[in-house]
Amino acid sequence: MMRALVLDFGGVISKTLFETHSLSEAALGLPSGTLTWRGPFDPDGDDAWRAMQAGEMTERDYWALRMRETGALIGEAWTEFPEFVGRLRGAEPEAVIRPEALDAITRAKASGYKLAILSNELDLFYGKDFRSRLPFLADFDLIVDATYTGILKPDPRAFRFVTDGLAIEAKDCVFVDDQAKNLNGAVAVGMPYVHFDVTRPGESYALALDMLAQGN
């Protein structure tokens, strides 16, 4: 029976911007400790993050806020997410890919599982050209990116792009996302899921692979 591992990108495959402040500060020439927003790593100290989790602002609005704030620190006015992400990460997206993700992708492929990405912001945040710098993406059977579909998770239609594209039943997939609200879409279509813990990535990937092996 065909099974599929369906992954979010930002936070799940790539490290979050919250985890790479030291790299960002070095890339921007800022003193260590300048960037203080920590999202899930310190929700009590990040009012905007809590507002996003409460549904009071969208994920894109959250990052637009951080883009404006960070650009202002160095006297620049960024208007496009790829510019923001590129400047913070020194235009090296490959440097912030989780090793746990690469291991899980290799193991899933070796086990014969299909691989898909379901992202709200892939090319919107990184730009169209970055994919060529991440050779492991060639292992994926399908990439569904709301940059082009216009359908954001947790809308169930976003998940149906995956099941239709892979010609697979939702019950035979395991979806992995670090945003709790996005899991509602998986529930709506009957897709098993793992709420990815960015503080324990290895454990989250192990759980997802185990669910696939056990038939969810």
Backbone angles phi, psi at 143, to 5 degrees: -125, 115
pLDDT tens across 159-188, in order?
999 999 999 999 999 999 999 999 999 999
In the predicted structure, residue 117 carries a pLDDT above the cut 70: yes
Residue 94 near residue 133, CB atoms below 8 Å = yes
| pTM for this prediction | 0.87
Q: Could you check whether the bond before residue 154 is cis, i.e. omega within 30 degrees of 0?
A: yes
Band (24; pLDDT cuts 50, 70, 90):
very high
Between CA 20 and CA 35 the distance in angstroms is 10
Helix and strand numbers (H, E) in the chain are 10, 5
How high does pLDDT run on average in the chain? 93
Using alpha carbons only, give the angle 114, 175, 132 rounded to the nearest 5 degrees. 60
Between CA 154 and CA 71 the distance in angstroms is 30
**β-pair partners for 7:** 117, 176
In the predicted structure, residue 210 carries a pLDDT above the cut 80: yes
Band (128; pLDDT cuts 50, 70, 90):
confident
pLDDT of residue 1: 81
pLDDT tens across 132-156, in order?
889 999 999 999 999 999 999 999 9
DSSP state of 195: E
In the predicted structure, residue 91 carries a pLDDT above the cut 80: no
Nearest CA to 162 out of 130, 177, 64 is that of 177
Nearest CA to 182 out of 56, 3, 7 is that of 7
